[in-house]
């Protein structure tokens, strides 16, 4: 979320002149000055210019004036344990016809300041703020009225108070705020400053470890199986857990309740619009301040962002519920249930984000979008929540709302973030697999199935089925994969190895088709050398004079083509009935027995496969017996 520049200063005019114009010309304006300092006698300092890009920022702790050089500033005692605390100061005019008010307050350090008012009141206010840190007074900054940085309408969270975007800062001890409006100011207007206190030592792991890298795969110069990578999404970046920034889980509005999950269609880029010069050690306190403001001051379930990234490129877990889950946050109104967001801690209106920050965005977004099956970072997302509209898969907050967030310099580099996500996704191999029977008879048709997917998203395209010859892979046929699957028949005459090579992919985008990424596992089908079989089958009982249909099956490591002789038992010998042609291992014939009898087959000749035995016993079938009854006998009465 960003403090917007709703009323930018006129060219050539200083912010001091604009302030005087407000007080003199706007009757419905309020000027409030709140000093959270050790003594009420601290005088209001003069307005200072914003530091130039690359210059020392307030609260950097590394350059600029030491704490003792700033009049009135009292540094926080090192490692002094203290509880978190929210201080409030009413911003109320002394009388209805007085539109200027000054207040002074004393107290300890803070990391966040904001202006709030009761939820449900319409407010059109212009708020500007500055704070005093160890390096002096910051420049005046405008805070946006934050009605769009909130839970989606209808969410189970009900906002307690409306408010501005928070001003997040390094440790500060004083704040000045101006509030103005062309209309009547909302009742219950107040300034809130948040001291996050000191966090206890974390009792849980502070780093959510990155997933292991994709294992290397061997070349496919031989018939050895190509190892399939187990990872199907871009590598997860290292993410610092809520325990790392000292989250008090009992503070959550949904503590002890089910977490609200949605779906992920896209991602939003935010910034906190605050000082950029904080020290690395101050980041946990800054995040705890935002957390306290969102939950206790605004009444939300949790911190609004799903993730945060500091200026050093470190990614921090935001809303509770699981970094790999579609946790519904409160970052982009009307889009929360279908997206996630990461906010960069700092103000990137005029400061260029570092490469570490851009890499953090690309890495996290590639991983999260990959988990959700969203593989086109350059594409457009169809959002359907009432009040939403279609957005780019990766968008800035200002694309969805009238806000300056995530700052012009960061917004200008969203294209770089998209390209970084695209590169990371293109490096992820899709899973191309070939399944089929491990054992088959010689010449037996076997169904093999190709499956192609990246993550949970099926791939459409073309693949080539190949067969290993003992020296090289030879082409069998090309298959068209639709919705991630296609099947085909193979008829191995001997033990064979098969594989798939990707030819082209149409959906989703950026599916790698070359090298090991486009090569399936190797499927080896062993051809079992089973003894030949010649079988004769038919009805066991029939009426004298009825025709019996007989079925013949001939197999010898595969279906046999040839001829067999049907024989009938006559006493102690067998007599010839007829010769029957067998094709593809099967044949049928009929007979009309005049009495009960037995029949069998004797192989006569075989054309394929070669080497089929024709002599007894392998060339002789089973004996088939049929019992024939008179037509009016008991088994057939009533038929």
pLDDT averaged over 10-residue windows placed end to end, the chain, 639 residues: 40 31 34 41 30 34 35 51 87 64 62 88 81 87 76 68 88 88 81 88 60 35 34 83 94 88 94 89 94 92 95 96 93 92 95 96 94 88 90 94 90 96 84 86 80 83 93 94 90 86 86 84 81 88 89 86 94 94 94 90 90 86 90 59
**What pLDDT was estimated at residue 199?**
79
Q: Are residues 51 and 183 in the same domain?
A: yes
Those residues whose C-beta lies under 8 Å from the C-beta of residue 67, and which sit 6 or more positions away, are 73, 74, 75, 134
Pick the last residue of a domain from 376, 393, 425.
425
| CA-based torsion, 448, 453, 456, 457: positive or negative | negative
pLDDT at 125: 82
Q: Residue 492 belongs to a domain with what CATH number?
A: 2.60.40.730
Is the residue at 613 inside a domain? Answer: yes
User: What is residue 323's predicted lDDT score, i.e. its pLDDT?
Assistant: 94
Q: How many residues does the chain have?
A: 639
255 within a domain of the structure (yes/no): yes
Same-domain pairing of 517 and 601: no
Residues 413 and 471 in one domain: no
Residues 51 and 110 occupy one common structural domain? yes
pLDDT for 544 equals 87
Q: 417 and 553: one domain? A: no
- What pLDDT does 59 receive? 34
Q: Is residue 224 part of a domain?
A: no
Check whether residue 382 and residue 457 sit in a common domain: no
- Looking up residue 20, the CATH number of its domain turns out to be 3.40.80.10
394 and 268 co-located in one domain = yes
Q: Is the domain of 157 the same as that of 267?
A: yes
First to last CA, the chain: 87
Strand-strand pairing, 561-570 and 597-608 = antiparallel
The per-residue pLDDT for 99 is 53
Question: What pLDDT score does 47 carry?
Answer: 28
Tell me, yes or no, whether 192 and 86 share the same domain.
Answer: yes
Backbone angles phi, psi at 638, to 5 degrees: 85, -5
Residue 204 has what pLDDT?
A: 57
Domain range enclosing 606: 533-636
Are residue 491 and residue 542 in the same domain, yes or no? no
Judgement on whether residues 256 and 368 belong to the same structural domain of the protein: yes
Question: Does a structural domain hold residue 602?
Answer: yes
pLDDT tens sequence across 70-103? 444 444 555 567 889 999 888 886 666 655 555 5
Number of domains in the chain: 3
pLDDT of residue 295: 93
Domain end among 395, 425, 455: 425
Which residue is it, tokens 């001890």?
173
- The reported pLDDT for the residue numbered 248 is 94
Q: Quick check: is 226 in a domain?
A: no
9 within a domain of the structure (yes/no):
no
Same domain, 544 and 456: no
Instruction: Give the pLDDT confidence score for residue 593 in this predicted structure.
Output: 87
Nearest to 431 by CA among 396, 386, 398, 463: 463
Q: How many CA atoms lie within 13 A of 543 on its CB side?
A: 11
- pLDDT per residue as tens digits for the range 510-559: 787 888 878 999 999 887 666 778 999 999 988 888 899 999 999 887 78
H helix or E strand, kind and range, residue 355: helix 355-371
Residue 234 in domain: no
Last residue of a domain, one of 487, 503, 528: 528
In a domain, 592, yes or no: yes
pLDDT of residue 509: 76
Predicted confidence at residue 421, as pLDDT, reads 94
Burial of 187 (0-12, 13-18, 19+ CB in 10 A): exposed
Q: What is the CA radius of gyration of the chain?
A: 39
């Amino acid at each position: 979320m960003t403090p917007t520049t709703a009323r930018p200063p006129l060219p050539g005019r200083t912010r001091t002149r604009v302030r005087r114009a407000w007080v003199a010309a706007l009757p419905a304006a309020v000027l409030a000055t709140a000093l959270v300092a050790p003594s009420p006698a601290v005088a209001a300092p003069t307005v200072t210019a914003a530091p130039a890009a690359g210059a020392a920022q307030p609260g950097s702790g590394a350059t600029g004036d030491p704490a003792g050089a700033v009049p009135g500033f009292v540094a926080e005692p090192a490692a002094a344990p203290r509880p978190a605390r929210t201080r409030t100061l009413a911003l109320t005019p002394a009388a209805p016809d007085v539109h200027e008010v000054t207040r002074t307050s004393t107290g300890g350090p803070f990391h966040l300041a904001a202006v709030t008012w009761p939820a449900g009141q319409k407010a059109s206010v212009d708020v500007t703020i500055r704070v005093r840190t160890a390096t002096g007074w910051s420049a005046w900054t405008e805070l946006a009225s934050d009605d769009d940085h909130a839970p989606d309408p209808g969410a189970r969270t009900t906002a307690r108070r409306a408010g501005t975007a928070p001003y997040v800062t390094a440790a500060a001890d004083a704040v000045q705020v101006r509030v103005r409006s062309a209309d009547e100011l909302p009742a219950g207007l107040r300034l809130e400053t948040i001291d996050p206190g000191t966090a206890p030592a974390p009792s849980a792991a502070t780093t959510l470890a990155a997933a292991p890298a994709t294992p290397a795969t061997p070349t496919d110069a031989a018939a050895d199986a190509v190892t399939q990578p187990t990872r199907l999404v871009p590598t997860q970046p290292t993410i610092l857990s809520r325990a790392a920034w000292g989250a008090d889980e009992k503070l959550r509005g949904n503590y002890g309740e089910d977490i609200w999950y949605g779906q992920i269609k896209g991602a939003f880029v935010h910034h906190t619009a605050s000082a950029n010069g904080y020290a690395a050690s101050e980041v946990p306190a800054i995040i705890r301040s935002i957390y306290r403001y969102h939950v206790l001051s605004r009444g939300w379930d949790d911190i609004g962002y799903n993730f945060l990234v500091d200026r050093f490129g470190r990614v921090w877990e935001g809303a509770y519920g699981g970094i790999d889950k579609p946790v519904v946050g409160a970052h982009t109104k009307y889009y929360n249930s279908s997206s996630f967001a990461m906010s960069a801690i700092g103000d990137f209106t005029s400061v260029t984000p570092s490469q570490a920050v851009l890499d953090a965005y690309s890495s996290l977004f590639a991983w999260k979008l990959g988990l959700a099956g969203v593989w086109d970072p350059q594409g457009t997302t169809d959002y359907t929540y009432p009040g939403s509209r279609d957005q780019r898969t990766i968008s800035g907050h200002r694309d969805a709302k009238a806000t300056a967030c995530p700052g012009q310099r960061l917004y200008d580099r969203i294209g770089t973030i998209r390209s970084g996500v695209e590169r990371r996704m293109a490096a992820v191999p899709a899973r191309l697999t070939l399944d089929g029977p491990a054992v088959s008879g010689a010449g037996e048709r076997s169904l093999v199935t190709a499956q192609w997917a990246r993550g949970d998203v099926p791939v459409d395209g073309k693949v080539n089925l190949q067969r290993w010859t003992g020296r090289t892979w030879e082409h069998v046929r090309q298959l068209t994969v639709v919705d991630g699957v296609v099947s085909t028949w193979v008829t191995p005459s001997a033990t064979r190895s098969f594989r798939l090579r990707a030819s082209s992919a149409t959906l989703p985008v950026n599916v790698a088709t070359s090298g090991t990424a486009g090569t399936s596992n190797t499927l080896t089908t062993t051809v079992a050398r089973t003894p030949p079989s010649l079988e004769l089958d038919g009805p066991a009982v029939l009426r004298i004079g009825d025709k019996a249909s007989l079925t013949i099956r001939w197999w010898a490591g595969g279906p046999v083509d040839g001829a067999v002789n049907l024989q009938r038992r006559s006493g102690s010998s067998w007599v010839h009935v007829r010769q029957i042609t067998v094709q593809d291992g099967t044949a049928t014939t009929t007979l009309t027995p005049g009495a009960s009898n037995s029949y069998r087959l004797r192989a006569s000749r075989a054309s394929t496969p070669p080497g089929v035995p024709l002599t007894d016993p392998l060339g002789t079938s089973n004996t088939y017996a049929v019992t024939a009854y008179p037509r009016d006998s008991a088994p057939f009465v009533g038929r």
